[in-house]
Amino acid sequence: MCGIFCAIGQNNDASCHLHSALEQLLHNRGPDVQDKLIVDNVLLAGNVLWQQGAAPQKQPLVENDLVLLFNGDLYNLDEKKVESEADSAWLIKELNKCNMSDDEQLLALLRQLEGPYCLILYNKREKVLYFCRDALGRNSLIIERHANNCLKLMSTSCPVLEHMASAALELPPLGLYKLPLAQLNECCLYPWQALNEQTQQQLSTLETAMDWSMRLGQTIAPSWLLDKPLQVSSFDLYALAAGDIPLELLHERLLGNEAVQQALNQLDELLQRSVAARVLHTAPVCRLCSGSDRSDARCSHAKVCILFSGGIDCSILAVLADKYVPASEPIELINVAFERVAAAPDESWNVPDRQTSLQSLLELQRLCPRRSWQLLQVNVSREQLQQQLAAHIRQLIYPLRTVLDESLGCAFWFAAAAADSTARVALLGSGADELFGGYTRHRNAWRRAAPSAAARELALRQELEMDWQRIPARNLARDDRIIADCGKTARAPFIEEHLAQFVRSLAPQQRCCYALPEGVGDKLLLRLYGQRLGLRDATLLKKRAIQFGSRIADKKQQATQISEYLRFDSLQSNGLQ
């Protein structure tokens, strides 16, 4: 994980400088090595959290005419680069093999990359800036327009009144943007895939905010988007679950079905591969030992943590992580609870997520008895919450501004900032609800549709697709900014290219069954997978959003309301919602 920054402006333009408050936020993201460079009135700065290679790789990287800032992880390079080489070092070499006077070779290279990343690439010869977020939008990149035609790109921002942006938003992950320095109001976009109505609206919002004239180039079409997922035999969970039978027998019937087994086998192969890549691709030392006198010695502290409510998503990730994290290392399970003000003193932190975390910990200890599971219980008083939100967390949530952003941002920040945590990687269950049908609105879409199976399938498919398309703008970039501020890399195994393609290729009735009650029919395929792994109680827990399970949110508030803490009144914010 890195904190990257780029500013394009005129000579001695103060609005394009890297001010100290933002420099500190970028340093929080990348505490191991830092560097910056000015070329052609372009300021580039990189702050690196060591996760790859034999040693931290300083950024920006410069080779011949190219200057690269890279924030991310590439998980399909095992056969293409040596293990001791950082992804960014491999990438700058490959970029230099491209004929940069013709973008086709650059697009061909991007077409092959898999993993969460953002990049900023400056071509000194052509005086052209390229920048993008990966096609699933997993890492944050904010774009701002300032006075005097100054443009900024950065992993995280810090609204300072004397250098306030006239427009700021999360860069939509639509493709590779190309911006010539000589014409900063003319931008070319090479889209990842053909634009639909929603992505066209995002592009229009960006064009207006940045005062650009946009031109569309050829579609990149990443290789994984073109790969056809394995086709499994047809099955219908509604038909298989028909009849009034005990839950235990229902699970037995479903798990014994050959077509369901085939789907679960493919899910197991893809999810195990995703988890393995995300826990094994990290530095050999924890946050405490990195840079210390002990860095050459063997570090036995936890390198991996799981943000842990005890629910089905994070419990599955814990079981799978146990298969790949070295047996001698503990795995941290971080659970956050916010003070219940009216409760008795000994009940202040006894929130629903705390209870389920303790319950699921017992299951993990039963299934993986040799693992040292470290349950870190983070207790946050209302005073601490208000103080950190007002002084710090609000900057990380920016440019988003809703009550929901506030609640989720605070919950993730306090969890990632756990005082006793040594982990460099934080596994999240993000994406599971969008893929497998875990939200109440999915059940409601099924219920509201006409009673025919075809009508309900169409309504649910549309709702699932809408949620999947908007997850980068609603969750991923914000969560990246929040967790990276604590010196951790957020990794979401469910949001992996081939896994997502496979699950999305399944019909809604192969993922969930809303004829069954909550905690059973929602995310039914995933719950069956948890059952197959040996989980029991965790597979029957109802979906509970972290803001309610941790008791940070007030259910009386509207999630889409503008938060009083996130108002930057001097700023015209254009965050994409």
In-domain check, residue 173: yes
Nearest partner of 130 among 225, 42, 22, judged by Cα: 42
Query: Taking 90 as the threshold, does the pLDDT of residue 294 lie above it?
Result: no
Strands 117-123, 128-133: pairing kind: antiparallel
Q: Do 311 and 369 lie in a common domain?
A: yes
Q: Please, what is the Cα angle at 476 between 474 and 480, to 5 degrees?
A: 135
Q: Tell me the two tokens of residue 324.
A: 């790949």
Q: Do 85 and 124 lie in a common domain?
A: yes
Average pLDDT over residues 321-331: 97
Q: Do 255 and 219 lie in a common domain?
A: no
User: pLDDT tier at 570 (50, 70, 90 boundaries)?
Assistant: very low
pLDDT recorded at residue 80: 79
Query: Taking 70 as the threshold, does the pLDDT of residue 575 lie above it?
Result: no
Average pLDDT over residues 38-59: 93
Alpha helices in 437-539 (DSSP H): 440-448, 453-471, 477-484, 497-505, 524-533
pLDDT recorded at residue 149: 80
Which residues in 259-289 are b (16+ Cβ under 10 Å) and which e?
A: ebbebbebbeebbeebbbbbbebbbebbbeb
Average pLDDT over residues 421-447: 96
In-domain check, residue 206: yes
User: pLDDT tier at 282 (50, 70, 90 boundaries)?
Assistant: very high
Q: Tell me the two tokens of residue 117.
A: 């990343």
Average pLDDT over residues 394-407: 93
Q: Which tens digits make up the pLDDT trace of 1-41?
A: 799 999 998 656 655 788 899 999 999 999 999 999 999 98
User: pLDDT tier at 163 (50, 70, 90 boundaries)?
Assistant: low
Which residues in 291-305 are b (16+ Cβ under 10 Å) and which e?
A: eeeebeeebebbbbb
Q: Do 255 and 381 lie in a common domain?
A: yes
In-domain check, residue 10: yes
Residue range of the domain that includes 90: 2-224
Query: Taking 70 as the threshold, does the pLDDT of residue 576 lie above it?
Result: no
Which residues, 6 or more positions from 435, have their beta carbon under 8 angstroms from its beta carbon?
464, 468, 494, 500, 503, 504, 511
Q: Do 60 and 158 lie in a common domain?
A: yes
0.85 surpassed by pTM: yes
User: pLDDT tier at 572 (50, 70, 90 boundaries)?
Assistant: very low
- Measured in residues, the chain has a length of 577
Q: Do 71 and 127 lie in a common domain?
A: yes
Q: Do 193 and 272 lie in a common domain?
A: no
Q: Do 220 and 101 lie in a common domain?
A: yes
Q: Which tens digits make up the pLDDT trace of 490-529?
A: 999 999 999 999 999 999 999 999 999 999 999 999 999 9
Query: Taking 50 as the threshold, does the pLDDT of residue 295 lie above it?
Result: no
182: left (phi over 0), alpha (psi -120 to 50) or beta: alpha
pLDDT recorded at residue 293: 55
Q: Is 566 exposed, middle or buried (0-12, 13-18, 19+ CB in 10 A)?
A: buried
Q: Do 253 and 217 lie in a common domain?
A: no
Cis peptide before 399 (omega within 30 of 0): yes
In-domain check, residue 270: yes
Structural contact between residues 402 and 464, judged by C-beta atoms closer than 8 angstroms:
no
Beta bridge partners of 69: 120
Query: Taking 90 as the threshold, does the pLDDT of residue 333 lie above it?
Result: yes
Alpha helices in 368-402 (DSSP H): 382-388, 394-397
In-domain check, residue 89: yes
Query: Taking 70 as the threshold, does the pLDDT of residue 556 lie above it?
Result: no
What is the rounded CA–CA span in Å between residue 67 and residue 224? 27
pLDDT recorded at residue 159: 82
Q: Which tens digits make up the pLDDT trace of 192-241?
A: 999 999 999 999 999 999 999 999 999 999 989 887 888 888 999 999 99
Q: Do 108 and 25 lie in a common domain?
A: yes
CA atoms within 13 A on the CB side of 267: 26
pLDDT recorded at residue 515: 94
Instruction: Compute how many other C-beta atoms are within 10 angstroms of the C-beta atom of residue 134.
Output: 22
CA atoms within 13 A on the CB side of 131: 26
Q: Tell me the two tokens of residue 285.
A: 């030392």
Query: Taking 90 as the threshold, does the pLDDT of residue 425 lie above it?
Result: yes
Domain count, the chain: 2
Report which secondary-structure segment, H or E, holds 278.
helix 258-280
Alpha helices in 281-381 (DSSP H): 312-324, 352-367
Average pLDDT over residues 402-418: 94
Report which secondary-structure segment, H or E, holds 21.
helix 20-29
Task: Map 98-161 to HEC letters.
Answer: CCCCCCHHHHHHHHHCCCCEEEEEEECCCCEEEEEECCCCCCCCEEEEEHHHEEEEECCCCCCH
Backbone angles phi, psi at 373, to 5 degrees: -90, 120
115: left (phi over 0), alpha (psi -120 to 50) or beta: left
Structural contact between residues 48 and 33, judged by C-beta atoms closer than 8 angstroms:
yes
pLDDT recorded at residue 340: 86
Q: Tell me the two tokens of residue 394.
A: 């609000």
Nearest partner of 134 among 395, 477, 397, judged by Cα: 477
Q: Do 11 and 77 lie in a common domain?
A: yes
In-domain check, residue 568: no
Mean pLDDT of the chain: 91
150 is catalytic: no
Q: Do 62 and 181 lie in a common domain?
A: yes
Structural contact between residues 49 and 28, judged by C-beta atoms closer than 8 angstroms:
no
Answer with the residue of higher pLDDT: 117 or 230.
Answer: 117
pLDDT recorded at residue 573: 42
What is residue 53's DSSP assignment? S
Q: Is 82 exposed, middle or buried (0-12, 13-18, 19+ CB in 10 A)?
A: exposed
Inter-CA distances, 434 with 134, 238, 269, 465, 472, Å: 18, 20, 20, 8, 12
What percentage of the chain carries pLDDT values higher than 90?
A: 78
Given the residues 2, 150, 289, 513, the one annotated as active site: 2
pLDDT recorded at residue 138: 97
Dihedral sign of CA atoms 482, 485, 488, 490 in order? positive
pLDDT recorded at residue 207: 97
| Domain at 437, CATH number | 3.40.50.620
In-domain check, residue 463: no
Beta bridge partners of 42: 8, 39
| Domain at 127, CATH number | 3.60.20.10
Average pLDDT over residues 122-129: 96
Q: Which tens digits make up the pLDDT trace of 65-114?
A: 999 999 999 999 877 778 889 999 999 999 999 998 889 999 999 999 99
In-domain check, residue 462: no
User: pLDDT tier at 162 (50, 70, 90 boundaries)?
Assistant: low
